[in-house]
């Protein structure tokens, strides 16, 4: 049992999606995350063990390496692709309640901003860490975020901005959330955002990268 979980974790860590995937070249022709997850389920390993011991552990290693600049966005995207291929097999178990999620996380790129690559990486890391993510997409008005919190009152919130011109919209959204839902934690991120801006607008946490957002949520 341990052997297949180790192999599966390795596939996610190094972005081996399935048997036909040419990447990484040294694993050509070998089973990938897709096949190994199916095999693990067939062997009777519980979905929760597959998720935590193989997949989440691998994504944690990926996030750590990304933070330490040992890998870069293309590798992280390949890992995310392998993770998605594996998670697809676990979906029925999430739906049946065999796996309990850690909580809900609403994520959005703020109004006026169309950049979503960073947001999507954060989404994948947080999903990989066992949270249910509600992705509102890009160019999201404050009202849409407020409506979503109303429907999911315990959710934590994540906002991304990549433009100096949309940082003001991030501030409006954070202040509106805090005036209506003061106890819902808000994480902010994106290239122009920093710790000082977080304090200024009253958000709870500034995450410079996906892994620090995951660490904050897990704390």
The yes or no reply on residue 122 touching ligand B1M (CB under 6 A) is yes
The yes or no reply on residue 75 touching ligand B1M (CB under 6 A) is no
| Residue closer to ligand B1M (CB basis): 117 or 151 | 117
Shortest Cβ distance from residue 12 to ligand B1M (Å)? 18
Which positions from 91 through 110 interact with ligand B1M, judged by CB under 6 A?
107
Let me know: does 3 contact 11? Beta carbons within 8 Å. Answer: no
Q: From the list 16, 104, 111, 115, which residue makes contact with ligand B1M (rule: CB under 6 A)? A: 115
Of 11-19, 55-63, 91-99, 118-126: span binding ligand B1M (CB under 6 A): 118-126
| Residue closer to ligand B1M (CB basis): 45 or 122 | 122
The yes or no reply on residue 190 touching ligand B1M (CB under 6 A) is yes
Q: From the list 118, 140, 156, 171, which residue makes contact with ligand B1M (rule: CB under 6 A)? A: 118
Of 33-41, 43-51, 94-102, 202-210: span binding ligand B1M (CB under 6 A): 202-210
Find all residues with CB under 8 Å of 20, minimum gap 6, and list them. Answer: none
Of 28-36, 46-54, 174-182, 208-216: span binding ligand B1M (CB under 6 A): 208-216
Q: Which residue from 92, 83, 167 is spatially nearest to 125, judged by alpha carbons?
A: 83
Give the H or E element holding residue 79. Answer: helix 73-96
The yes or no reply on residue 145 touching ligand B1M (CB under 6 A) is no
Q: Which residue from 83, 72, 85 is spatially nearest to 34, judged by alpha carbons?
A: 85
Q: Which residue from 208, 15, 52, 46 is spatially nearest to 129, judged by alpha carbons?
A: 52
Query: In whole angstroms, what is the distance from residue 219 CA to residue 54 CA?
Result: 21
Let me know: does 184 contact 149? Beta carbons within 8 Å. Answer: yes
Query: In whole angstroms, what is the distance from residue 97 CA to residue 3 CA?
Result: 26
SS3 state at 28? coil
Which parts of this chain interact with ligand B1M (CB under 6 A)? 73, 107, 112-119, 121-122, 158-160, 162-165, 187, 189-192, 207, 209-210, 213
């Amino acid at each position: 049992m341990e052997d297949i979980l180790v192999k599966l974790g390795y596939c996610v860590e190094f972005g081996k999606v399935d048997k036909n995937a040419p990447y990484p070249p040294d694993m050509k022709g070998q089973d990938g995350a897709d096949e190994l997850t199916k095999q693990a389920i067939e062997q009777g390993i519980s979905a929760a063990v597959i998720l935590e011991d193989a997949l989440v552990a691998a994504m944690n290693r990926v996030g750590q390496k990304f933070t330490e600049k040992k890998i870069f966005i293309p590798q992280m995207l390949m890992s995310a692709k392998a993770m998605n291929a594996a998670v697809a097999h676990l979906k029925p178990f999430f739906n049946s309640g065999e796996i309990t999620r850690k909580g809900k996380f609403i994520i959005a790129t703020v109004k006026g901003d169309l950049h979503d690559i960073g947001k999507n990486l954060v989404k994948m890391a947080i999903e990989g860490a066992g949270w249910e993510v509600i992705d509102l997409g890009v160019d999201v008005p404050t009202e849409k975020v407020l409506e979503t919190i109303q429907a999911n009152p315990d959710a934590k919130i994540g906002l991304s901005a990549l433009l100096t011109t949309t940082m003001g919209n991030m501030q409006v959204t954070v202040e509106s959330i805090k005036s209506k839902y003061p106890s819902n934690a808000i994480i902010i991120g994106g290239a122009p955002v920093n710790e000082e801006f977080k304090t200024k607008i009253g958000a709870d946490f500034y995450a410079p990268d996906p892994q620090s957002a995951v660490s904050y949520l897990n704390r």
